[in-house]
A and B are shown apart, each in its own frame.
Chain A
């Protein structure tokens, strides 16, 4: 496959690249030393190891990948790396290194940080989604997509681009779930008509094949068996679901490129 290159509107994207720290909650499997230790290790690695092992420790022309190295993954604070460096692998062209215990620990800390950066998916950063054409996006919004039937750039969408970063905004217009990546509707309204008694409308609290519960205008919680009541759910997100099956990838990138202009 070929990767679509990211170039257009890169400057715009930079402004949004600061992902909320909370969203980067740690998913590490093993502890990473403090940043200053890692950075000293990085500096030493770049000078002494990077030529063969690559400055990212993923391997180079002469030396193997250390991020996925069995020895480095079993290392704790340099306990395996230290004895190894004292000897090196002269048979493979790697000389011995005489380093202090602290220097070894810093190198090991840098490699640990590199491997945990691969393991911890929550640290991954989406590069740039703003790769479409804003004019085409506006045309889609007002035409084929029918978005203007419910939404308006001067109304509910005014300033939308300042409230979400582009990947988050892309998620939200594709399906306005709860939070980024959420797939639960924010809120829906339902009207329940019991076999005996008047129809009741309210915010849908719960729905399965057998029961329904709503919060009515008085704030009262009311549940019904669906055997004895009909339910009509007003789903304002149905149009978004319908579009999921119709969009091309160009459509979604054109739309996001248009929407990020609504600052």
Chain B
């Protein structure tokens, strides 16, 4: 393993003022994202809504570049070139990761403070969603499934723990989440039917605190939704995006990935719990409080890991504590997050054809005729889904839930028709796709406005809303756009060198509001002119 620090002595001197108030106090994880963006979603709610309003609809037109930062991975690092991570902002420093790499960047100037490089032993380098932080320690996961703890001041390695076996085809992308005494870690990997799990690790050592399997073992609850033990133990259900947290209920909410084998459902008849499911778990014990399965018996590779966003508000005249998700399968789902009671299930794209409707429990039911077949089945949405990992946003000022959506089609095939299919066991051949920004009324599921992008390409941008009446989004080509969140009117845009590839963040520093986005291998910071 190598660790490289750019001009370390100088970096420490320059960083000194920024790092004066060293470390991230646990209490700051509970606050709204104003002078810090201390977790993946800015706060535990997953709303990606900031109360900052210095930048607003009246002045966003004069937004200007503060700085740009180009990351240097110094050598071949497949997949490491695109910033998918949401950076954390703490006390003048941005922290983020890419596969095998982590950086600290001076938020005043865009100057690299340190760069940590991990010598990989393999794994799929598809992306890294970011780092977690507490005190003066930064945590991230590597493609070969090590949990790595770094000194936030210097980038020095503190410790590592292996959290999954890359040789079984696990690979790891999510930012670890700090919840109380727990460092919550997740895993990914679809290629060879490994089972998914979520774990809590010790913040000081990385030792295992508890493990939660996302598929049952033996005669555990949920086993009745699988034909046999073999199918559950090879049933998938990955945990590759961070969840959200309600500190009062002490419940952590997360989604699980698709079941395995991916496209062949014939060896795993049943609903396949707890794959494609929203799960509420006690973060101190790993005990499940409730679950809601959004895609029973998925056969389309539609991981259900999209952010479960916490909403406090009115539903049918009653104050509720709720949870909303725009799922990869094309349905918007609203639940009571205290009990898991189902409130609403509505499609947020128009082309969806895979479901025969919503059952009494509010679950979309798969239409058996739209499962993949050896000769192909025309399915909408296509394999990347109606949405995907890129973060949605909920704005309490408008009551709207915003999500980047895709209306698309694919031909889905089963290629392994034997009794014991393995791995993907099939494929999806993508056809046509069009990209939308949807504003969903959380109380009804109605699409209040929809912006169809003219450009082609793939939307990979997360969303951000602010109290300044702004919705920031990256389009499928390479524009960063500020929308008016109630109407969808475009207020401002700027073309970058590459499409926005992460979720935008905002924070206040030195009395000014900044907006930072990742596009390809660069970070851009915007602020108002002096």
Contact = CB atoms under 8 A, between A and B. Distances in A.
30 contacts: A3-B374, A6-B374, A29-B124, A30-B167, A68-B168, A68-B192, A73-B192, A74-B165, A118-B192, A126-B376, A126-B427, A127-B374, A127-B415, A128-B374, A171-B431, A174-B411, A181-B429, A183-B456, A184-B456, A185-B456, A208-B453, A208-B475, A209-B490, A244-B432, A249-B369, A249-B376, A249-B377, A252-B376, A252-B378, A253-B376
Interface stretch (B34-42, B97-105, B418-426, B506-514): B418-426
Nearest to B373: A4
Nearest to B456: A184
B168 A70 contact: yes
A174 B368 contact: no
A1 B368 contact: yes
Nearest to B379: A249
A67 to B, nearest CB: 6
B354 to A, nearest CB: 12
B334 to A, nearest CB: 27
Interface in A172-189: 174-175, 177, 180-185
Contacts of A240: 432
B56 interface: no
B431 A119 contact: no
B191 interface: yes
Interface size class of B (residues with CB under 8 A): 35 or more
Which of A6, A185, A208 gathers most chain B CB within 10 Å? A208
Given A68-B422, A208-B477, A244 B378 contact: yes
Contacts of A4: 373-375
Contact of A210 (B377, B413, B493): B493
B476 to A, nearest CB: 8
Interface of B: 122, 124, 165, 167-169, 191-194, 230, 234, 265-266, 269, 299, 351, 368-369, 371, 373-378, 380, 408-409, 411, 413-417, 420, 422-424, 426-427, 429-433, 453-456, 475, 477-479, 481, 490, 493, 495
B167 A74 contact: yes
Contact of A177 (B269, B427, B432, B454): B432
Contacts of A44: none
Contacts of B430: 181-183
B432 A175 contact: yes
Interface in A26-51: 29-30
Residue in A5, A180, A249 with the greatest tally of chain B CB atoms within 10 Å: A249
A208 B432 contact: no
Given A127-B417, A210-B493, A170 B479 contact: no
Contacts of A241: 432
Given A4-B374, A119-B192, A175-B431, A125 B415 contact: yes
A247 interface: yes
A171 B266 contact: no
Nearest to A128: B375
Contacts of B415: 124-127
B413 A3 contact: no
A229 interface: no
Given A68-B193, A174-B411, A209 B375 contact: no
A159 B478 CA distance: 40
B122 A29 contact: yes
B432 A1 contact: no
A215 interface: no
Contacts of A115: 192
A174 B378 contact: yes
Nearest to B171: A29
A184 B192 CA distance: 31
B485 to A, nearest CB: 17
B380 A3 contact: no
A59 interface: yes
Interface in A196-250: 206-211, 237, 240-241, 244-245, 247, 249
